Amino acid sequence: MRGFGAVLGREIRLALRHPADSLAAVLFFVLVCALFPFGIGPSPEILSRIAPGALLAAALLAALLPLDRLFGAEAEDGSLDQLLLSGLPPAALAAAKALGHWVVTGLPLLAATPVAAAMLNLPVEAWGAAMLALGLATGVLSLFGTAGAALTLGARRGGVLLPLLVLPLSIPAVIFGAAAIEAAAAGLTPRPYLLLLAALLALAAPLAPLAAGAALRGD
Amino acid sequence: MLEARELACWRGDRAIFAGLSFSLEAGGALLLLGANGAGKSSLLRLLAGLIPAAEGQLLWQSEDALADRVAHAGRLRYLSHQDALKPSLTARENLSFYARLWGGDVAAALGSVGLADLAELPARMLSSGQKRRLALARLALAPAPLWLLDEPTVGLDAASVTRLGGLLAAHRAAGGAVIAATHLPLPLPGARELTL
């Protein structure tokens, strides 16, 4: 547990030293959401109709951006060997990296959600549900993404392979997340969809770090 | 306390080394010699449990050392040819992370490699020799019975090699063992040599 906290604290400290990385993901998210009004036209009805799906897709793509450096940077400077020999089980190391990725990438995206939601004309009543759905969905992506990053570590063109591996796994998160936001926008309760999303997160939370740990150990 | 029996390591379909046996007792030291590409670094990685052995056995206190690799990691310190430092963190912060994992006094460890005055400097500002010393400071943090060192003196000045000699002597006097790969003379009196 002490090792888990140490790795997580190190992730956050490194992100604070390089705030540009988190900022780039947030700006990417906001810019992708800003592209929709330009492409589809400023009709408020159509925008608010596509807002849930667009928010989810943009947030997941933005959260993917820093993933290929999650273990790549550690492997390049030799830190990965030290982390694997730190006395922390590889799965716990992967879990700490996944949580670290969510804190330094997922949380800033949540903070930018109202801006993106406003640009897509999402009703204000649905903003809370949107933030909850994005928080859970980016959590799922952080977990699957960590497993993907561990699997593609050292692969040629790993940066291209990673989204191909992770995005299909994220489809259920997009479906339930968008459904939750749509329900809230229509004045219904988003609760069942959010619970399904939380169930997905609960499923990925133990499985993805185990897979990532096995990939890191090379067995 | 460490015994290797008929170890072999393959890369692709080519054997890097095979049939390698040695044993090391508490306080002992083993120097790995050999030309570039002879497999010194691979052997150290294998001994650390970072890569699997194709054949053979590694025993620790007469039990399979690699059966529980997390426990094995707990009894060793591995210094690779890379320094494993984060350039944006200060020397103290780089070391504090390992102190949280293993315990130990960061200031004392920095002092033991002569970096006490540079503790608050980001690692990217350090020279390559100073980075090497900061990597060596990990050894001084908390005791572990087995040190695996890959070219520990690369880039070090004479005074730093002498300080490393002091660290190595103290480690061996406390019953620790050292396995070091090197091309340069190391301050390891009485070390056995193994040529790959």
Q: Where are the beta strands (DSSP E) in chain B?
A: 2-11, 14-24, 29-33, 55-60, 63-64, 76-79, 146-150, 177-181, 192-195
Report pLDDT digits (tens) over B162-182: 999 999 999 999 999 999 999
B189 touches chain A (CB under 8 A): no
C-beta of residue A59 within 8 angstroms of C-beta of residue A134: yes
B70–A contact, CB cutoff 8 A: yes
Q: Which of A10, A81, A88 sits opposite B50 (nearest CB)?
A: A81
CB contact, 8 Å: B101 with chain A? yes
Q: Is A82 on the interface with B (CB under 8 A)?
A: yes
**Cβ contact, residue pair A78, B98, below 8 Å:** no
What value does the mean pLDDT of chain A take? Answer: 93
Of A74, A76, A107, nearest in space to A7 by CA: A74
Tell whether B128 lies on the interface with A, counting CB pairs under 8 A.
Answer: no
Task: With beta carbons under 8 A apart, name residues in chain B contacting A213.
Answer: none
* 3-class secondary structure, B66: coil
Q: DSSP 3-state assignment of B84?
A: coil
Kindly report, residue by residue over A21-54, the tens digit of the pLDDT. Answer: 899 999 999 999 999 989 988 888 999 999 999 9
* Closest C-alpha among B172, B25, A76, A124 to residue B188: B172
Which of B72, B85, B100 best tests the A interface by mutation, with the highest count of A CBs <10 A? B100
DSSP letter (8 states) at residue B81: S
Min CA distance, B79 vs chain A (Å)? 8
3-state secondary structure of B99: helix
* A77·B50 Cβ contact <8 A: no
pTM value is 0.93
Q: What contacts B3, CB < 8 A, 6 or more positions away?
A: B22, B23, B24, B58, B59, B60, B62
- Give the whole-angstrom CA distance, residue B4 versus residue A70: 35
pLDDT in tens, B31-51: 999 888 888 999 999 999 998
| Strand partners of residue B122 | B90
The arrangement of strands across the sheet holding B192-195 comes to B76-79, B146-150, B177-181, B29-33, B192-195
Q: For helices B128-141 and B158-173, give the axis angle rounded to 10 degrees.
A: 10
User: What chain A residue is nearest to B95 in terms of C-alpha separation?
Assistant: A10
Residues 6+ apart with CB under 8 A from A1: none
Residue B84 touches partner A, C-beta closer than 8 Å: yes
Mean pLDDT for chain B? 92
- For Cα atoms A97, A16, A101, give the angle at the middle one, nearest 5 degrees: 25
Whether ipTM tops 0.90, in short, is: yes
Name every residue whose Cβ is closer than 8 Å to that of residue A171 and which is 6 or more positions away in sequence: none
Task: Residue A217: list chain B partners with CB under 8 A.
Answer: 69
Q: Do A87 and B83 touch (CB under 8 A)?
A: no
Quote the minimal CA–CA distance from A142 to chain B in Å: 22
Residue contact A79–B48, C-beta within 8 A: no
Return the SS3 of B113. Answer: coil
CA distance A107 to A14: 16
d(CA B70, CA B87): 27
Which residue of A lies nearest to B80 if distances are taken between CA atoms? A78
Interface test with A, best of B11, B66, B68, B70 (most A CBs within 10 A): B70
Is A41 in CB contact (< 8 Å) with chain B?
no
Q: How far apart are the first and last CA of chain A?
A: 24
Chain B residues touching residue A85 (CB < 8 angstroms): 48-50, 73, 76, 78
The Cα B96–Cα B90 span in angstroms is 10
Say what the pLDDT of residue B196 is. Answer: 84
* Residue B139 scores a pLDDT above 60: yes
How far off is chain A from B50, nearest CA to CA, in Å? 7
Instruction: Name the amino acid, one letter, at B134.
Output: L
Q: Once rounded to an integer, what is the mean pLDDT over residues A12-20?
A: 93
pLDDT of residue A219: 56
Q: For chain A, say whether B154 makes contact (Cβ under 8 Å).
A: no
Give A89's contacts in chain B (Cβ within 8 Å): 70
Residues with Cβ within 8 Å of residue A53, at least 6 apart in sequence? A174, A178
Confidence of residue A159 (pLDDT cuts 50, 70, 90): confident
Burial B162-184 (b: 16+ CB within 10 A, else e): ebbeebbeebbeeebbbbbbbee
Instruction: Verify whether the Cβ–Cβ distance B86 to A79 is below 8 Å.
Output: yes
Give CA–CA dist B41/A212, Å, rounded: 25
Q: Do B50 and A84 touch (CB under 8 A)?
A: yes
Answer yes or no: are the C-beta atoms of B84 and A78 closer than 8 Å.
yes
